[in-house]
Structure 1
Amino acid sequence: MQKTKLTLAAAAFIATLPFLQGCVPAVIVGGVAAGAVSIHDRRSTGVQTDDESTEWKASLSVPKQYKEYTHANFTSFNRRVLITGETSNDEAKAAIEAEVRKIEGVRDVYNELGIGPMSSLGSRSTDAYISSKVKARLVDSNQLSANHIKVFTERAIVYLMGIVTEREAKVAVAVARTTAGVVKVVNAMEVLSDEDVRRIDERTFGSRSTPPQSAPVENR
């Protein structure tokens, strides 16, 4: 019961972030989260820093003539950029993607911008709440580390990014698609072999990623 209360409280707090961002400096909100998660991230600290820099550069790259009619979010994970939100027309959508592709270090771009009016603050708050529920359910599943999955929601569509095994990807998709309020799941995760992910974990986390061998038992 206590665990449920804590999970719901965390979800409620995260849902308020879209309204707090205008009052709280982004460096405080982002810095605290990054400090907690980076220890358990399969990306190197250098790549994490590059991803944060890419998101900032991308947010500044929207062509001036489209800014008034565009609400765009840029999520970078392992140098792959996801663009979500809304813009006025296909020309604007293509122009925004072209600018993001110019950013140094970007490996790939997933342009998921919708064509239409900008979403309301209420809609964005709902999206943030959906993301928080998906993250909480990933934790509750006890089948993978939720820190290895980046969850972002736009117009009730959940986008998943991360460096995962095939099993972890299936678990994450199953959790997301069965979460209340989700209308669609877009899988943008990088799926590697178990061996490759194990190698990354051992390099990044050291012995912490390898559970100790059980001691033998002799019956008398």
Structure 2
Amino acid sequence: MKKIILSISLIVNSLFLIGCAPVIQGASTVSSVISISNDRRSIGKILDDKTIASRLLIWYSEDPTLSDVHLNFMVYNKTVLITGEVSTPEIRIYASKQAQLQVPNISQIFNEIKLGPSSGLISRVKDSAITIQVEFLFQNQEVFHPIHVRVMTENQVVYLMGALTKREANMAAKTAAKAKGAYKVVKLFDYLKTRPKAEIERDKLKELEDKRKAEFEKQQVDLETKKADLQRQIRALSSNTTATNFSPEYAF
């Protein structure tokens, strides 16, 4: 079962890697361009993170010591979060150390592996549902861009990674805590003192563009209203002229 799940994970991850390649070549889809342009990581760092994730999955699938172990990985800016369940403290330490050895360019590892039996299918489905809820809730706020936060849930604990200001991080944690079934929220953010300058400028341009669009639409409405009024006046004038020119003839 583990091999099947890992094979699917590797295929999905590979698709993500393939999906990023056209961006470098300048032939991306609109959605990919938007995602890349809004991400606070450079294209190089995004690819580094995806490469790290792929290498971790390959190592995990091939390591005999971890053949009956359930682990998950999330990567952001070369920082790795490892979650899951193992039977002994020794395997817990082994997993963390081996991850660093297998992928030397990892800058930091958060070892959130718990001691105990592997979670069952129902538990994992619940975790996936919580993650989907959190990502949906992120769409309904305006403090931070949802793409700036990575989300993973393990045993109803929601883990958040990304590069955010403290205000954004607090809103992300507060929003994630609203997800039904979420037991706890863990913040593993890279904290920024301020939002990136380029991002602020981009938002200002968007705000200006939205304002211009709103003004243009208002002008269009005003013109349509004036046009309708003028047409009514013309019809009224035409009706009055017809009534004036009408002279009935009487026979005596």
TM-score w.r.t. the length of structure 2 is 0.67
1:155-194 CA-to-partner distances (Å, cap 9, x unmatched) read 1100000000111001001011122110011110111101
Q: Offset of 1:207 from its aligned partner?
A: 4.5
Q: Name the counterpart of 2:100.
A: 101
- State the AA in 2 paired with 1:121: L
Output the amino acid matched with 2:43: T
**For 1:47, which of 42, 45, 48 is the aligned residue?**
45
Matches within 5 A, 1:66-105: 66-102=65-101, 103-105=103-105
Aligned-pair Cα RMSD in Å: 2.8
Deviations along 1:11-46, one digit per CA (max 9) or x if unpaired, are xxxxxxx98x84994134676699363332101111
Preserved CA contact (<8 Å) 1:69 1:88: no
Name the counterpart of 1:176.
Answer: 176
- Equivalent in 49, 57, 60 of residue 59 of structure 1: 57
Change (3 A) 1:54 1:176: same
Q: Residue 151 of structure 1 aligns with which residue?
A: 151
**SS at structure 1 position matched to 2:40:** coil
Cα gap change, 1:97/1:53 in structure 2, threshold over 3 Å: closer, same or farther?
same
- Quote the sequence identity (%): 27
Larger Rg: 2
Higher helix share: 2
Q: Is the 8 A contact 1:61 1:96 kept in 2?
A: no
Give the unaligned 5+ runs of structure 1.
1-17, 216-220
Report what 1:125 is aligned to.
Answer: 125
Q: Kindly provide the amino acid, as one letter, of the partner of residue 130 in structure 2.
A: I
Q: Is the 8 A contact 1:139 1:146 kept in 2?
A: yes
- Single out whichever of 182-191 and 32-41 deviates more from structure 2: 32-41
Tell me if the contact between 2:10 and 2:57 (Cα under 8 Å) persists in the aligned partners.
Answer: no
Distance 1:134 1:207 in 2: 28
Aligned: 1:192 with 2:186: no
Q: Which moved further from structure 2: 88-97 or 115-124?
A: 115-124
Q: How many residues align?
A: 191
For 1:45 and 1:54, locate their aligned partners in 2 and report how far apart those are by CA, in whole Å: 14
Matched residue SS, 2:140: helix
Instruction: Give the AA of the match of 1:57.
Output: R
Higher RCO (Cα < 8 Å, 6 or more apart)? 1
TM-score after normalising by structure 1: 0.77
CA contact (8 A) 1:69 1:117 kept: no
Task: Tell me whether 1:210 sits opposite 2:208 in the alignment.
Answer: no
Aligned counterparts of 2:158 and 2:137: Cα–Cα separation in 1: 14
Which residue of structure 2 aligns with residue 37 of structure 1?
35
Residue 13 of structure 1 corresponds to which residue in structure 2?
none
